[in-house]
Amino acid sequence: MDTKINQAIKSVLLMFGDKYFIGEIINKQKVIHDLDNYDKELMTKMLSNDVVKSNFTTAINDAIIFNVNKLVELFETNDYWQDSYTKYSKKIGLTANGKFIDETTEVVLDFPYKDTVLKAGMTQEDLAKDDLRPDEPFLNEVIAKEEIDVLLDKKLLVNAKKYDIEGEHKVSEITEDDNLILKGNNLLALHSLKERYAGKVKLIYIDPPYNTGNDSFQYNDRFNHSAWLTFMKNRLEIARDLLTEDGSIWINIDDDESHYLKVLCDGIFERENFLANIIWQKKYTIANDAKYFSDSHDHILVYSMRKETFKLNGLPRSEEMNARYKNPDNDFRGPWMTQPLHAKSGKNSDFSYTFKNGVTWEPPRGTFPRYSFDSLKEYDNNNMIWFGKDGKSVPRLKKYLSDMGNVTPNTLWLHTEAGNNDQANKEIKRLIEDFNFSTPKPEKLLQRILHIGSDEGDLVVDFFMGSATTQAVAMKMNRRFIGIEQMDYIDTVSVPRLQKVIEGEQGGISKEVDWQGGGSFIYAELMEKNTGFLKEIIEADTMQELQAIFERMSQSPDIDFRVDLEEVKATLWEHSLEEQKKTLIKILDKNQLYFNYSEIDDAHVRELVSDSDYAFNQSFYKEVNQDG
């Protein structure tokens, strides 16, 4: 039922005809946008309504102050407009809050929740039990662009070090040939890469959180649906800027989000640049305990930067393919197989040709000659026509194995060709004993992707690095790479795995590519600022812990200056622990999560940065003093 305020606001909006409506549904986002921009006509009409004026204005001396923020907050309350476009949009694939997701200017930062990491002794079966499954959602926040001043500026990089066959060393510069691993929020890291690597990346592969709640070992990937799409949009847009004109992006995703993601990607990369939806058989056994269907595959969406400039590499021929070629007549050109001389379409259905052995050939009724008279004469003279063992069968043209090139990839990748999740687990457990990812990707899969979409020396990026499969395969296949990961397992899984690759480990594709070790990479971290508070909030287990954190936050400059702390104190502790955490995360100033590169010469920042890290930043952002 409409409240009095609701009715009053709606009556004002109706004065503008269909400007603020889609059919009979209020376009809430349009209203918020105009209020935020102090639209003169809208504000005048609002103030002309007595109910609105009495509830959203304050008289100070002779002035009337319109509390616009209070009115906006009313629209932002999810349950306020029960028939609003927000509710309506949840039924539409790619709209949210009254606007298309691919047009949103909002940003989603992701904060992995600590309870989504597999606890010692817990199994996947344990996680299925209601009393053990973490109920808290993946903590993420949608931030309006207007609230972000310097969030996406280049970030300061610290703890820079190089790993090679000699071990770990401090490093003060980076070259175009160096591989790079960054620890930190991947959206902010991608923006830090843009200036240096825009237009230089040949291939991007990502395996993002799937928004299902199933990937419970390291990430809890349960987002609000529209927030997940916005989360992906933010990262795909900046990723696109990194691609070369002949580059491509490969996105591993499951059934739940693949179709929504396809539509989103059509908008970002343009529909005409879509190349394929590859079906990869990630499991080869049947899950008989599945409620409906046993989940056996993932999707890999493939887009080119520009289809007209993209060229793929064909796949090597398999032994099974080559075994089909025989040489029963000891042809000096080697093994061969045959193909018919006719085709389903063409010209001259009355065609006839007599070969030098006296056999006359005509295309079967309803078909046409595949080759011209002159071509058949050339093939006949070169003994390339096969008439069967008796020399009298229907003639066919020999096609020689020596003339066959690589094979055009198809869109169905069986586990025998591209590996599976079980194989991937075994590959990594050989290297990292305490490895607990539920859906790692096998090296064989990444080998196939990198072979098709890149060449030796090309730059490959994976900004959901996880267990570093992409980087391990890139190193073994002589590709340059960049990896980004914000989770702490970068130090216990990802980096140690790459160190073992450098040492020459023989798992995965090593034997197939004759990997003998070598290579190197640089590791660096986005320099944290108020992420300390963020981590404490995420890890807190009780309200008392959060109250202590809030007290310290209140004494720091890390809270958004627009926050009414007294209001927060008065209402915060009435809510659930989850809501308390969300509120505390929300009031943190997101511009202060990491130090920006622009702050490097500030006195209090400079003393926190080592001389080698200072030089590394100048090298990374290409501001080295050429005279010194």
318-370: pLDDT as tens digits: 888 899 999 999 999 999 999 999 999 888 778 999 999 999 999 998 899 99
Cα–Cα dist 385/395, whole Å? 6
Q: Report if residue 256 sits inside a domain.
A: yes
SS3 state of residue 247: strand
Q: Report if residue 118 sits inside a domain.
A: no
Residues 420 and 547 in one domain: no
Asked if 166 contacts 251 with a C-beta cutoff of 8 angstroms, the reply is no
Count structural domains, the chain: 4
Q: Report if residue 212 sits inside a domain.
A: yes
Position 310 scores a pLDDT of 96
Average pLDDT over residues 273-289: 94
Q: Say yes or no to pLDDT of 78 above 60.
A: no
Torsion over CA: 253, 257, 261, 263 (sign):
positive
Range of the domain at 441: 177-314+411-526
181-235: pLDDT as tens digits: 999 989 999 999 999 999 999 999 999 987 554 443 233 444 466 777 888 888 9
Residues 14 and 65 in one domain: yes
Q: Report if residue 605 sits inside a domain.
A: no
Token pair for 348: 């001259």
From the list 238, 142, 145, 232, the residue with the least C-alpha distance to 188 is 238
Position 2 scores a pLDDT of 57
Position 118 scores a pLDDT of 25
Position 140 scores a pLDDT of 52
Cα–Cα dist 85/21, whole Å? 8
Position 101 scores a pLDDT of 55
334 alpha-carbon distance from chain centroid = 46
Position 566 scores a pLDDT of 78
566-619: pLDDT as tens digits: 778 888 888 888 888 888 887 777 777 789 999 999 998 999 999 999 999 999
Q: Report if residue 90 sits inside a domain.
A: no
Q: Report if residue 216 sits inside a domain.
A: yes
Residues 229 and 181 in one domain: yes
Position 98 scores a pLDDT of 53
Q: How many CB atoms lie within 10 A of CB 125?
A: 8
Residue bearing the bigger pLDDT, 296 or 140: 296
pLDDT band at 103 (very low <50, low <70, confident <90, very high): low
Average pLDDT over residues 543-563: 81
CATH number for the domain harbouring residue 273: 3.40.50.150
Residues 394 and 360 in one domain: yes
Boundary residue ending a domain (403, 426, 449): 403
- Least reliable range by pLDDT among 51-60, 97-106, 296-305, 439-448: 97-106
Token pair for 10: 């709606």
Q: What is the CA radius of gyration of the chain?
A: 31
235-275: pLDDT as tens digits: 999 999 999 999 999 999 998 889 989 999 998 999 999 99
Residue bearing the bigger pLDDT, 109 or 327: 327
Asked if 467 contacts 435 with a C-beta cutoff of 8 angstroms, the reply is yes
Q: Report if residue 151 sits inside a domain.
A: no
Residues 517 and 429 in one domain: yes
pLDDT band at 95 (very low <50, low <70, confident <90, very high): low
Mean pLDDT, the chain, whole residue set: 83
Residue bearing the bigger pLDDT, 128 or 229: 229
From the list 181, 278, 225, the residue with the least C-alpha distance to 499 is 181
pLDDT band at 537 (very low <50, low <70, confident <90, very high): confident
pLDDT band at 77 (very low <50, low <70, confident <90, very high): low
Q: Say yes or no to pLDDT of 131 above 80.
A: no
Boundary residue ending a domain (502, 526, 550): 526
Q: Say yes or no to pLDDT of 478 above 90.
A: yes
Position 173 scores a pLDDT of 96
Boundary residue ending a domain (403, 428, 444): 403
Residues 449 and 303 in one domain: yes
159-179: pLDDT as tens digits: 999 999 999 999 999 999 999
Residues 199 and 290 in one domain: yes
Rounded percentage of the chain residues whose pLDDT exceeds 70: 83
For 74-124, the DSSP string reads HHH-TTT-TTSHHHHHTTSTTEETTEEGGG---EEEEE--GGGSPPTT--H
Residues 539 and 513 in one domain: no
Position 201 scores a pLDDT of 98
Average pLDDT over residues 118-136: 32
Q: Report if residue 520 sits inside a domain.
A: yes
Residues 397 and 495 in one domain: no
pLDDT band at 41 (very low <50, low <70, confident <90, very high): very high
Residues 263 and 337 in one domain: no
Residues 198 and 332 in one domain: no
Residues 521 and 534 in one domain: no
Q: Say yes or no to pLDDT of 141 above 60.
A: no
Q: Say yes or no to pLDDT of 121 above 70.
A: no
Position 314 scores a pLDDT of 94
Highest average pLDDT, of 76-90, 127-141, 272-286, comes from 272-286
